[in-house]
Chains A and B, each alone.
Chain A
Amino acid sequence: MEIRTPFALKILRAFMVAAVVASLGSCGVLGFIFSTPFPQTTVLAKAQADLSGVISSSSADSFNLKTVATGGYEYVMLIGPNGGVAYVYDTDLNLKKTLTNFGGNGLMVDTSGNIVLGSTEFSPDFSSSSTLTSGITVFSAGSTGVDGFVDSPTSQVADFGVNSNVLAYIPFPSGWIPSGSQVTVPLSSYLSNLTIDGIFEDASAGTVTFAISPSGNNSSTTTAYFFTVNRSGFTIPTNVLDSSSSRDHLVSASIGYAQGSIFAYDTSSSSFVQINPANGSTKNSFYSPTNDPSHLRFVYRVGGGSFYGFNKTTRILTKYAAWW
């Protein structure tokens, strides 16, 4: 096209400027201009521990990442399968202890305020240990959270598991005296093939929040159901999931708990989300489009402040600052 007059040229220039401004004003263009190929969590990373020298890539998937707090101590623990090895870090990821041969991979704090790992009871500072009463082992209920908790000053519950739609657990008196009476509770009248994503004990609130998914696994998205019960006088209503809140498109291995909220990675919004477990609504979110968490395992400090991710590919454990 031949521009014949200065006026036409001015009109064309004005149109082009308007088009550029309009396109810049759209979120997509600005999002592109200020985006980055690096994981959004990079800006939150504060510390790292490289476990590639001690955990093989083939076994990394079988390690659970959990936190435990008792007696003024708080630890981040990577727990291997079958009670073989566990790496104990403080909250700044300084290695405090490497544990071996503890007899199982369940983790909890018992009525004595000690840390129970598998079939071994440790003092809060890991300076001493003893084996639980013969035959008792705390097994892992999920890849994160806790595997048992104290429900009264003289009793505790552990060994949670799900068979199809029925949740089972065992109450133990203090001192880990065998009781042998397993409790079973149907969780849903229509959901089956359930998996425990995590059991989250909130000591300050005196509650336990369950995250349970149908057909969940650690690398795919799932619909997670949430319900919260009191630790004291612990009991679970029959078919509790039928009236529980739920949330779709969550990565199972990313589900965690802190400060009364559930946290997870939501693939539908490509975001980390803070979820109200009472109704499944989102409180806050953190857009992280390039962060594929399928090879990550997350755990959150219950009191907040930070969360941790274990990269099963690089076997690097990273501490992140809280984003919410």
Chain B
Amino acid sequence: MRIARILVPLIALLMFAPLGGWSADERVANVSVCVFPLANLSPNGAQQEHQKPLSEAVRQEFENAGFHVLPDDQWTPQAESFGIEPNQVTGGTQAIFLGNEIGFDMAVTGSYWIENDRILVSIQCWDIKAGTLITGFLHTWRFNLGFYNFVRAEIADLAQRVVFLSAPRLIALKNDVRVDEIIFTSKQEGMEVLIQGHKSIGRIQNGTLVFQTDGINAGTTFTVEKRQEGYHTLQQTVVAAPQVELTPIPRANNLSLEADWTFGQLEGAGATLRWYPKPDWIMISFSEYLYAQISLLPNASVPIHADSELLAGLYLFRPPEAGFRFGLSAGVGTILTWIPATSLPLFTDVYINILSLWAEWKAWGIPMFVRVETKLPLGIGNNLLGSGGPPLLWGGFFPPITLGVVIPWK
């Protein structure tokens, strides 16, 4: 018994030895974490008895790291009310959904699989507000007495990585945490990065660019300028952290194509070529819209209209990278009308486009627009629309309304 009194604490000390290197971090004390039981994926549902100790190990390590781990009774009933089985939450979708519903900051999900003498453990940590994966691991071990030591070490390491990686997003950093190196990541290869607008630190290569900060307080905000040949130069304000993602910069377009469709001219379609003297700001455009005028009247012909237009326009207020932009344009146009199977001549309706206003937004990354036009026919030559009247109205009431999509070309 005396030996046992000595050995049991000793064994316990050995089991929890990996924890000795880490201590609770007061910065994450207010970060609430929901630790879901690890799902048992073992064949035929065997090895269920390991679920509780494994899940408890995860819970303890996050508590030890300083996180506020929610008691089960604070989230289990609500999960069940949404039809979610707490023991079967393995993916981010359900965890993030519950996080938003219940109101915790982070979720830990996982699963294990045991067969013969091998065990596979997979654990992920989810940022609820961002709706993203923070980090995780997937590891296999021989399933023997040393396993719990190994897995606890792995989980403890995971918890500390979460503290480190997610700190800027989940907690307010203290000034005494310094970052010596920032890894900028970006999908835009070759993009040059300048710190505070003047000091170039290089270009993105293989998705990353390392910036030696010489020591900067974590959480410090500063501005980087992003530029690349053929792209718009943009600035981005970032927060000092070990890893900072830089958003891509938009391409500077000199030419674009439009495909458009106008109400009242639905039996046809149009295309426009835009040339930008100032990329994505000022444009000269030439458009052609071909459509038929179909009537259900007996003996009716099918007039064919070709509307050609030359406009000068510009975007207003918002920059090219904005998701929503406005613009206006004006110019001249001509509608040629040919009525097949008649002896009628070609009709020519020359008009002034006094003002076109459009709103453009990016849907699935593609600029789409709605445009309202004010066309005033001049009554020149053999025309159909006359002159001196109000601007062209569809159905006697509505100005031409066009829906379209802009396709960058060059």
Contacts and interface: CB of A to CB of B under 8 A. Distances in A.
Interface in B63-106: 100-101
A36 B297 contact: no
A43 B300 contact: yes
Interface string B96-126: 0000110000000000000000000000000
A313 B388 CA distance: 11
B306 interface: no
Interface in B367-409: 379, 382-386, 389, 392-398, 400
Interface string A22-38: 00000000011111111
B247 interface: no
A313 B381 CA distance: 12
A44 B263 contact: no
Interface stretch (A167-175, A183-191, A226-234, A316-324): A316-324
B298 interface: yes
A10 interface: no
Interface string B151-166: 0000000000000000
B302 interface: yes
A47 B343 contact: yes
Contacts of B100: 4
Given A32-B264, A38-B385, A323 B299 contact: yes
A38 B344 contact: no
Given A38-B337, A48-B343, A316-B382, A43 B398 contact: no
A33 B344 CA distance: 27
Given A43-B293, A46-B342, A313-B386, A33 B266 contact: yes
B394 A42 contact: no
B305 A290 contact: no
A248 interface: no
B317 to A, nearest CB: 25
B299 A321 contact: yes
A interface, size bucket: 20 to 34
A270 B396 contact: yes
Contacts of B386: 313-314
B342 A34 contact: no
Interface in A295-324: 313-314, 316, 321-323
B384 A36 contact: no
Contacts, number: 95
Contacts of B265: 36
B301 A45 contact: yes
Most A C-beta atoms less than 10 A away, residue of B298, B300, B302, B383: B300
B303 interface: yes
Interface string B262-276: 011110000000000
Most B C-beta atoms less than 10 A away, residue of A35, A39, A321: A35
A42 B293 contact: yes
A245 B209 CA distance: 90
Contacts of B300: 43-44, 321, 323
A42 B299 contact: no
Contacts of B284: none
Contacts of B305: 38
B9 interface: no
A34 to B, nearest CB: 7
Contact of A34 (B264, B389, B396): B264
B301 A289 contact: no
B295 A322 contact: no
Interface in B241-266: 263-266
3 residue pairs, one from A and one from B, having the closest CB atoms = A35-B395, A321-B299, A43-B295
Given A46-B342, A92-B343, A323-B300, 13 more contacts: A4-B101, A5-B101, A35-B394, A36-B264, A38-B384, A42-B337, A43-B297, A47-B343, A48-B343, A290-B393, A321-B298, A321-B299, A321-B300
6 contacts: A4-B101, A40-B295, A43-B301, A44-B301, A50-B382, A313-B386
